Structure 1
Amino acid sequence: MNKYILSLLGTALGLNCLAQANISPAPAQDKKVIVMGARLHTGNGKVIENSYLIFEQGKITGLGDATVVRLDPSGSTLINASNKHIYPGFIAPVTNLGLVEISSVKATMDYSEIGELNPHIRALVAYNTDSKVPATIRSNGVLMAQITPQGGTISGSSSVVQLDAWNWEDAAIRTDDALHLNWPVTPKFRGQGSRAGVPSAAELSSRTQNTINQLDQLFAEAKAYAETEKPVVVNGRLAAMKHLFDGTQKLFITANAQKDIISAVKFAKKYNITPVLVEGDEAYLIIPFLKENNISVVVKEPHNLPVMNDDDVNMPYKNAGVLANAGINVSMSLHSYWQLRNLPFMAGTVAAWGLDKEKALQTITLNTAKVLGIDKTAGSLEIGKDATFFISDGDALDMKTNKVEKAFIQGRDINLDNLHKQLDKKFSDKYKAGKQ
């Protein structure tokens, strides 16, 4: 009984805290804006030391070196960003953001469904734009995310959203961009028989192979269904996989051991699909194979311990740099919504462990946009792309200096207030007043 009472109290306190923040989405841009004087990081490796950036109706219409042009600011809003930095909006792939609000309250978790093979599940329709979490991560420059289901062998389809919207329809940038598959894990220990209820390696291998056989059958049926012009019987699960085979939807496969990565890639190639590898702890051991098959890698957060006992203790820090320096397209993932505010600092860690600073920036901007299929409109600051960027008083990849002062999503000047800032002000004011 006490457990249930505590759970109810926790829910009530959580909802009470959430009710304190009331931040409405910004209105559409109605006036041309010129930002002058900032150090502009384009997101594609280039830096403009003293820049100008012009955007109208949500699109970038001009940018370049402010020292060689004369701009007419009449009829425009002029922002002086001297001695500050401009960055493209950071993008968080493979995350359950907006699908869970309070991790200790089951009723607020909507990122996983019952069953193992759920290609028909769409994370987008469960995305909660009223969540108070996105506002906290926007304050560190994360302005877009790939909302991703989790659990099972096939989790369902993700969608890419911008993080300032009234509802999921407004938020969507690219719907059902990818299907997510968790590759069956190959057993790593040996044994002749079961003991104390522990299955043998042979039994585990048999289970793994059975799962792969089920996947093979499902993909074969889905491919045949996709090639059928007018199916006699409508099958929602198979129809949800149709765009894997015409190239308009991507396949993200989570795998870590090198043997599993190779098996997963060969499985996808069998159906003429070039997958995106997620996590890939041992990807650095098979770089030639990944390059040969044109595989992009979404590495998991570098602030982790090594996976194997004999791994280099600093391998999680080095992993992204090793892959990127070898010519592989690398982006960075933080699966848990509560870690996303640290995404830029993860990229900063990668920069400190072997990757050029601007290339590290690309792991959370343009590289990610390419993987998600939104690089024509997002991921870098270029004429014609969305005006989704932010202004920081310091280096956005450095925890000590990151200070986002202004942010725009598709030209809209968004509110950077959030629950954390409100609570900080509340208790700072309390102690400034001398109250205990």
Structure 2
Amino acid sequence: MNKYIFTLLLSSFGLACFAQANISPAKPQSKKTAIMGAKLHLGNGKIIENGYLIFDQGKIIGVGDATLVRLSLTDATVIDGNNKHIYPGFIAPITNLGLTEFESVKATLDFTEIGNINTHIRSIIAYNTDSKVPATLRSNGVLMAQITPQGGTMSGSSSVVQLDAWNWEDAAIRTDDAQHLNWPATPKLRGPGGRNPLSSDALQERTQAQINELEQLFTEAKAYVEIEKPAVVNARLAAMNHLFDGKQKLFITVNAQKDIIAAVNFAKKHGVSPVIVGGDEAYLIIPFLKENNIPVIVKQPHALPNSTDDDVNMPYKNAGVLANAGVTVVVSIDGYWQQRNLPFMAGTVAAWGLDKEKALQTITLNTAKVLGIDKTTGSLEIGKDATFFISAGDALDMKTNKVERAFIQGRDINLDNLHKQLDRKFSEKYEAGKK
């Protein structure tokens, strides 16, 4: 009974929070704007120490070194960028943002479905633009996200959104960018004192049965999409069509080196383009990854090692080891509200062996390339969306990250959020009490 009362109270608190954080999406850009004198972090590994950035109608129309050109800006709004930093909007991959609101309230959880094979599930149509979490992410520079389903063997398709919209149609940058597969992991025997409910042979047999099920699914799906007019519509098979024509990628969550190799070979066999998610042991098979041009989305750099035999600092170093070896690396973090800490994950990667601007790429241009949106975002380049932010300090450092203004497709977005509102509310209360 107490559990249900707690849930009801939490829901009521959530509704009260909603009322406090009523932030409408920004209006379209109405006038050409130029930012002068800022330090530009282009997102492609390059920096312009004293740069200019000009954007109009939501697109970047000028970017360069302010010391080398004379600009006529009589028709533009000019923003002083001296002693400021400009970054491309950060992109959060692999997140259930907007699919869940309160972890303890089941009615707000919409990121998983019943069953193991859910290729027909589209996360985008469940994405809640009224969630109060995205506003907290924007305040740290995270302006886009890949909304991803979870659970089962085939979880469904993800979509990429920008985080300031009225509804999911407005939010969508790219719909159904990838299908998501949780690879059947090779079973591990427990250590001394541990007990396995099944024998080693039984565990191996169960894993192989799951792989055989995937083999059958992909074989049937490939045959199905080649039929011009199927007599019977199969939504699960039809949803896999774009895996085979290259319009979708297959994101495979897998960690052990043996399983990574098996998963990549499986994808190649069926003619689909794989991306490894997790990849705790990817650093052990770097030549294989480079040979097959496989990107790796490193999850949760702030974590414990995968194995008791691993270097205790390996989670911190993993992304740097892979990137310095020539593997395309993306950094992610688990959860939804935790996404506000994404830039600091990249900062950790920079502190453990990766060049600072290359670390920035792991949450900007590299992510855009892996998600298939690099033609319009991910870096500060002419012709791309004006999706970026201005920070008073280093945005990868939690001590200096201070986002002062942010723009999504040229729109000057509101950076207020529930956390800031509560801070003001109680600061005023205690300040009043001192008088």
TM-score range, shorter chain: over 0.9
Aligned to 1:56: 56
Matches within 5 A, 1:98-113: 98-113=98-113
Alignment of 1:21-100 (within 5 A): 21-100=21-100
User: C-alpha separation between the residues in 2 aligned to 1:418 and 1:435?
Assistant: 26
Contact 1:274 1:294 in 2 (8 A): no
Query: For residues 235-257 of structure 1, what are the alpha-carbon distances to aligned partners after superposition, in whole Å with 9 as ceiling and x for unaligned?
Result: 11111000000000110000001
The CA deviation string for residues 367-406 of structure 1, in whole angstroms up to 9 with x for no partner, is: 0000000000000000000000000000000000000000
Percent identity of equivalent pairs = 77
Deviation of 1:196 after TM superposition, in Å, equals 7.2
Distance in structure 2 (CA, Å) of the matches to 1:41 and 1:2:
52
1:435 shift after superposition: 5.6
Q: Does the CA contact (< 8 Å) of 1:42 and 1:88 recur in 2?
A: yes
Offset of residue 197 of structure 1? 7.5
Cα distance in 1 between the residues matched to 2:379 and 2:8: 45
Deviation at 1:174, TM superposition (A): 0.3
CA–CA separation in structure 1 for the residues paired with 2:195 and 2:165: 53
Deviation at 1:226, TM superposition (A): 1.3
For 1:97-136, list aligned pairs within 5 A. Answer: 97-136=97-136
Distance 1:61 1:426 in 2: 41
Return the letter of the residue paired with 1:305.
Answer: L
Matches within 5 A, 1:69-218: 69-189=69-189, 198-218=197-217
SS at match of 1:25: coil
Q: CA offsets per residue over residues 309-328 of structure 1, 9 Å max, x none?
A: 11101000000000000000
Matches within 5 A, 1:228-307: 228-307=227-306
Q: 2:309 aligns to what?
A: 310
Give, in whole Å, the separation in 2 of the partners of 1:3 and 1:345. 35
Letter in 1 for 2:87: Y
Judge conservation of contact 1:378–1:386 (CA < 8 Å) in 2.
yes
Deviations 1:84-128 (A, max 9, x none): 000000000010000000111111010000000100000000000
- Greater shift after overlay, 10-19 or 85-94? 10-19
Q: Which amino acid aligns with 1:13?
A: F
How far apart, in 2, do the equivalents of 1:201 and 1:57 lie? 61
- Aligned CA-pair RMSD: 1.3
Superposition misfits of 4+ residues, deviation over 6 angstroms: none
Moved more, 226-235 or 374-383: 226-235
Q: Which amino acid aligns with 2:123?
A: A
Could you tell me whether the CA contact under 8 Å between 2:301 and 2:333 is conserved in 1? Answer: no
Write the distance in 2 (CA, Å) between the matches of 1:302 and 1:147: 20
Distance apart, 1:335 and its partner CA: 2.6
1:15: how far off? 2.0
Aligned to 1:405: 404
Distance 1:187 1:261 in 2: 14
Q: Report the Cα distance in structure 1 between the residues aligned to 2:72 and 2:394, rounded to whole angstroms.
A: 29
Conserved 8 A contact 2:43-2:88: yes
Partner deviation per Cα, 1:37-83 (whole Å, 9 max, x = no partner): 00000000110000110001000000101112122221211100100
1:201-247 deviation per Cα after TM superposition (whole angstroms, max 9, x unaligned): 11111111111111110100100111122222211111100000000
SS of residue paired to 2:79: strand
Post-superposition Cα deviations, 1:164-186, rounded to whole Å, max 9, x if no partner, equal: 00000000000000000000011
Equivalent-residue separation in structure 1 for 2:361 and 2:376 (angstroms): 15
Distance 2:24 2:322 in 1: 40
Q: Using the alignment, how far apart are the partners of 1:176 and 1:241 within structure 2? A: 10
- The change in CA–CA distance for 1:75 and 1:294 in structure 2 (over 3 A counts) is same
Secondary structure, in 3 states, of the residue corresponding to 1:181?
A: strand
CA contact (8 A) 2:190 2:196 kept: no
Unaligned runs of 5+ in 1: none
Please give the alpha-carbon distance, in whole angstroms, between the structure 1 residues aligned to 2:53 and 2:190: 60
Residue 326 of structure 2: aligned partner: 327
Q: TM-score, normalised by structure 2?
A: 0.98
Counterparts of 1:2 and 1:300, CA distance in 2: 36
- Residue 177 of structure 1 aligns to a residue whose secondary structure is strand
Number of residues paired by the alignment?
433
Work out the CA distance in 2 between the residues paired with 1:291 and 1:435.
Answer: 62
Q: Scaled by the length of structure 1, what TM-score is found?
A: 0.98
Q: Is contact 2:42–2:380 with CA below 8 Å preserved after alignment? A: yes
Q: Which amino acid aligns with 2:60?
A: I
Which secondary structure state, in structure 1, belongs to the residue aligned with residue 263 of structure 2? helix
Amino acid at match of 2:339: L
- Describe the shift of the 1:197–1:279 C-alpha distance in structure 2 as closer, same or farther (beyond 3 A): closer
SS in structure 1 of the partner of residue 433 of structure 2: coil
- How far the C-alpha of 1:17 sits from its partner, in A, is 1.9
In 1, Cα distance between equivalents of 2:206 and 2:369:
35
